[in-house]
Amino acid sequence: MTPAEPNLYSHQWFEFFHVGIDRARTRQETEFICRCAPLPEFRKILDVCCGMGRHARALSNRGYSVTGIDRNADVIAKARELAGGRSYVVANIRDYQPAPETFDAAIMLGQSFGHFDDGTNRAVLRRLADGVRKSGRVILDLWNPDFFASHQGARELKTARGVVKENKRMDGDRLRVQLAYPDGDPEEFEWQLFTPPKMISLAQSVGLALLLSCTDFSSTITPSPAKPRIQFVFERSGKG
């Protein structure tokens, strides 16, 4: 069987990896966002690649006004169902352009940035930067290339719905992942990964200044090759 187009996130991926995420994880991630973009100054939030809206719902329940976007119409329909009509939009981040300075902050969590080539990834980030007001913030949750450089190869992922076979490899600055679900269907993903210096330089080129880089959604823990994720908090400087 021919593998699916990379980075499409099939219904199987959502069923195996998105449904049933622990509430404590969502609470930890939401509280981090609230600390980095506190009310009332940062009320209007854009949740990019929102999936079924777990962060959007949690933030809305805390008093934020959240717009969630995702290119998958089925998961947006589910997000709308779960949210009772909150604002969700079907949109592909490759093309999505929020109106200038519409939002106080934009969030992009779960390694949702880096799906494309260098130029397209930069264009995506520039459009997000343009979509937040001056002194607005862009919060990214990305995978750490230094971690994955030493964690390549095959493994089995045990989920509530069964065992998924995974194979990861780094190819330059790109991480390529193959998944095989219990029924044998394959799925492929790839992302451009960014070291902190490279991500900071890219952000500066579109008018974003670094406020914080950390891991484990804790401002007190610095990124490390032993940790798979890095969180970046940028502020729009109005330049670039």
Q: Which residues pair with 188 in a beta bridge?
A: 178
Measure Cα distances from 55 to 23, 45, 82, 107, 108 in Å. Answer: 11, 11, 12, 9, 10
pLDDT at 134 over 60: yes
* pLDDT per position as a tens digit, 181-214: 888 778 888 999 999 999 999 999 999 999 999 9
CA distance 222 to 240: 27
For residues 134-152, average pLDDT = 96
Query: Mean pLDDT over residues 125-145, rounded?
Result: 97
Residue 15, token pair as written in the block: 């069923």
Helices (H), the chain: 11-13, 23-36, 54-61, 73-83, 118-131, 145-149, 196-205
d(CA 33, CA 28): 9
Quick check: 140 and 132 in contact, CB under 8 A? no
| Residues near 38 by beta carbon (within 8 Å), at least 6 away in sequence | none
| Residue type present at position 183 | D
* pLDDT per position as a tens digit, 1-25: 334 445 666 667 667 666 667 889 9
What would the mean pLDDT of 98-112 be, rounded to a whole number?
A: 95
Single-letter code of the amino acid located at 38: P
**DSSP labels for 136-191?**
EEEEEEEE-HHHHHTS-EEEEEEETTEEEEEEEEEETTEEEEEEE-TT--EEEEEE
pLDDT-derived band at 176 (thresholds 50, 70, 90) equals very high
Which contacts (CB < 8 Å, 24+ apart) does range 200-206 have?
200/232, 202/121, 202/122, 202/125, 203/125, 203/129, 203/138, 203/232, 203/234, 204/240, 205/122, 205/240, 206/122, 206/125, 206/126, 206/129, 206/240
Q: Give φ, ψ of 82 to 5 degrees.
A: -70, -30
pLDDT for res 16: 66
79-94 confidence digits (pLDDT tens): 999 876 569 999 999 9
Residue 40: cis peptide before it, omega within 30 degrees of 0: yes
Between CA 177 and CA 189 the distance in angstroms is 5
Rounded mean pLDDT of 40-64?
95
Going by pLDDT thresholds of 50, 70 and 90, the confidence category of residue 240 is very low
CATH assignment, 11-144+194-236: 3.40.50.150
Amino acid at 96: Y
Domain boundaries, the chain: 11-144+194-236, 148-187
In this prediction the pTM is 0.91
Kindly tell me if the per-residue pLDDT of 154 is higher than 50: yes
pLDDT, mean over the chain: 90
pLDDT at 222: 96
Of all residues in the chain, the percent with pLDDT exceeding 70 is 90
